[in-house]
Structure 1
Amino acid sequence: MYIQQIHHVAYRCKDAKETVEFYTSVLNMNFILAIAEDRVPSTKEPDPYMHIFLDAGMGNILAFFELPNSPDMDRDRNTPQWVQHIALQVKDTDALIQAKKELEEKGIEVIGPTNHEIIQSIYFFDPNGHRLELTTVTATAEMMNKLDAVKWDMLEEWSKTKRAPKQAAWLHSQEFTEQKDDRLEEEVST
């Protein structure tokens, strides 16, 4: 089996029209398709729905279902609000800062930018309560190679201890941050 790409990721929404308007006007996504039926094709259940699809760029599709006959939408209360989110990539740090400014001008509360060392991100919520992340990659090839080299060891240690492994703790160490700041200053001055 070989997966070519994610075709779409689907979430529930409170109101299909409001959701399309948010994603088209706030995030500039194109509304590409709507499907509505009275029965679920896979299960044959009688459950009317509106299924909307938005272009998230480069062949990525973000989809939503409005389900008027189901109980009101809620989230898994046993999962912290920050865990389940949709992360969308922007070109660079300048685009991230500009996006934050545009979101705030539209009255949307934004957290960040947050420096994750290999990415920079901002966070906010859509009208359905889904947490969204806009992010840009800031990692070097060297950083990603170091992380790649320890991923299996980290996973194995986590599975045994359920404690955060320290193989990648360098990402948030003061020494690493200072070295990164020094490299950035050198790049800016040259």
Structure 2
Amino acid sequence: MLESSHLVRGVDHAAFPTFDPAGTVRFYRDVLGFPVVHSICAAGWGPEDHPDFIHFFFDIGNDDRIAFFYYFGLEAADRSVGKGDVYARFDANTPEFFVRSRHLALHVDSEDHLMEYRRRLDASEWPVEMQIQHETIESIYTHDPNGYMVEITRALRPVTPQEDLDANLTIDALVDIVQQPGHTMDDLLLRKAELIVERAERWQETGPVAP
């Protein structure tokens, strides 16, 4: 066993689903001033009937992040009963994957530390349910006694400035297309390509600095 019994370095990210990505970006980025620092365009992930989605992250300081999932083609639920409720109640037709995407991610420093937590969990009543490498991190997942998903994650490598720029292009494109009826992942990728072309001339003069 490693010397320290407490290897977690803090919250990596807390994650929530959103029906309103444009409003989410306005609130966290434009009003609160939290920059977009990462995004994942997940096309064809999960079971066959799982929709494409964007998973996007804001830097909230102290190397911590808050993240959101936006699912393409998912009709917004009636949230009127849950307005103001931190555990926002959704209607009975809201897919389980939408509700279950809320989770807490804890950060550790190394693969050894991640595997130590895997050992502890696998020896407990709450064994690891998934271990996944996705883009810049490797994570293990389980559910706590209350049914909440808990993720423990470690960085596979540093996130580059180019990836920060890509995240900002992705989220700007998402905000642009979400008002279009029936928008898809393909619409997002097309708009992102258009933004690259539109901004290319400015980048030639100043360099590709994220807005």
TM-score, reference length from structure 2: 0.39
Query: Which one has more relative contact order, counting CA pairs under 8 Å at least 6 apart?
Result: 2
- Rg larger in structure: 1
Question: How high is the TM-score relative to the length of structure 1?
Answer: 0.43
